[in-house]
Amino acid sequence: MTRRYFRNPRLVLCVAAALAGTACDLTLVNPNAPPEQTVLNTPDGLVALAVGMQAQYAGGVGDFVIPPSLTTDEWGTTTRSLIAYQSLLTGNNFDPSYAVVLAPWADAYRTIKSANNVLLYAPQVNLGPGLEAGMVSLAKLFKAMALGTIILQYQSVPVDVSGPAPVPQSRAVVLDTVLALLESARTDFTGVTAADLSGFTSRVLGTGFNVLNTIDAMRARYNLIAGQYQQAIDAADSVRPNVLSVFTYTAPAVNSIWDLGFSTAYVKVLKSFKDQAEAGDGRVAYWVDTTVAPTTGNPDSLLLPLKKFSGQGDAYPVYLPDEMKLIKAEAFAQLGTLDSAAFYVNAVRTQASSPVDEPIANLPALDPATQLDTQAKLLAQIAYERRYELFEQGLRWEDTRRLGTALTTTPTLPFLPTPLQECDANPAAGC
């Protein structure tokens, strides 16, 4: 991630890694390095931790996207791919000891540990009201995103990890925790002025990351998943539509979708993604290189190359603007307000341009009176629009649970199993 304050990004990441309980190997060992307690009790140490927390989550994007993309109808595996990835794709011979099972869990809890340290120590250090409010709200946001991401991949996960044997909690408990964190983050962030936040923006915040828009977008996303439809609509209405919020990558960090699709070339797009699209849907060519002949993967399936994220430093969106329209469409459909649902479906379909980098459908509107006149028709169309609008965003797996028969795919696995390493180390894991 690009930073404007710390001139040694490796040091920033190592501070975060050390405080999160992970290893970070520096070639030169400094015997006079301060202990963890000293780092956490200094403003610069906490700032470094907050910066590193963002990089931790951004670095895990690929790990968060791999299971949803391979268990559904987004990605296929190439002949170069790992056996674990191929097993996700087929659902056969899947082993909980695979690294692909542990990776989302480990990435999320590293972020959560860093967030917890920021939340614990920020009030104890003289940061000033703006810097403290910004860092606390950011920590709550990233903790919420980490918990939200993994409850979409595992059936139950711990919320409180302060003890030696954290107890996994149900989806309902985790989602309630996520939403409470987001509401609290919003209160903290809007409780200070933009002028007070200037130091936070210049010293802590990742380039291109919009805190308030991201909080509201996550409120909309997780209220929808929790079945709180009016709250999802209200939150989505708060998101400014022409403002992107992104993770950026500066060497040695790389966009992990680039790594998977272009560098290692472990994954490509299933050709069915192109074949099953409506004629003229402009979003296909945004995500996929449709100009080349398909290749055969392993297992046997026709694949097309990824197009988006073809550069190792390409920014990755925290959310896409039209997710908010589709959240409102789905929420209105579930509430029985079909005309409003149809309006937002067509708002996504008919968009022909955008001032920000996002997929554009440029399709004709559907007739609300004949094509979008029932809840079932609307949900089926919303499922289609989400497939092509929100490709590679890690949401397709959850869509199969929420929209069910409205989708054209059945996932190869219902959830990831609890990682074997967690089962071995945690007697409360319930494995």
State the pLDDT confidence band at 407, using cuts at 50, 70 and 90.
confident
Give tens-digit pLDDT for 17-59.
444 443 322 233 444 445 566 678 899 999 999 999 999 999 9
Distance of CA 83 to the CA centre of its chain: 24
Residue in this structure with the two tokens 């309006």, named with its chain if needed: 343
Cα distance between residue 195 and residue 200, in whole Å: 10
Domain definitions of the chain by residue range: 9-253+315-415, 256-304
Give tens-digit pLDDT for 221-261.
999 999 999 999 999 999 999 999 999 999 999 999 999 99
**In 3D, which of 208, 275, 219 has the Cα closest to residue 248?**
208
Give tens-digit pLDDT for 143-191.
999 999 999 999 999 999 988 899 999 999 999 999 999 999 999 999 9
State the pLDDT confidence band at 408, using cuts at 50, 70 and 90.
confident
Give tens-digit pLDDT for 293-310.
999 999 999 999 999 999
What one-letter code names the amino acid at 177?
Answer: T
Q: Is 392 left (phi over 0), alpha (psi -120 to 50) or beta?
A: left
Cα distance between residue 144 and residue 223, in whole Å: 12
Cα distance between residue 64 and residue 83, in whole Å: 18
Instruction: Return the pLDDT at 217.
Output: 99
Going through 344-393 in order, the beta strands assigned E by DSSP cover: none
**What are the structure tokens assigned to 259, written together?**
């790594």
What one-letter code names the amino acid at 82?
Answer: L
**In 3D, which of 95, 409, 104, 82 has the Cα closest to residue 267?**
82
Percent of the chain with pLDDT over 90: 88
Q: Report the DSSP beta bridge partners of residue 306.
A: 288
| Enclosing H/E stretch for 379 | helix 375-389
The answer to whether 159 touches 174, Cβ cutoff 8 Å, is yes
What one-letter code names the amino acid at 139?
Answer: A
Write down the CATH number for the domain with range 9-253+315-415. Answer: 1.25.40.390
- Model confidence at 5: pLDDT above 50: no
> Whole-model pTM?
0.92
Cα distance between residue 431 and residue 426, in whole Å: 9
The answer to whether 45 touches 39, Cβ cutoff 8 Å, is yes
Instruction: Return the pLDDT at 18.
Output: 43
Instruction: Return the pLDDT at 2.
Output: 34
The answer to whether 11 touches 48, Cβ cutoff 8 Å, is yes
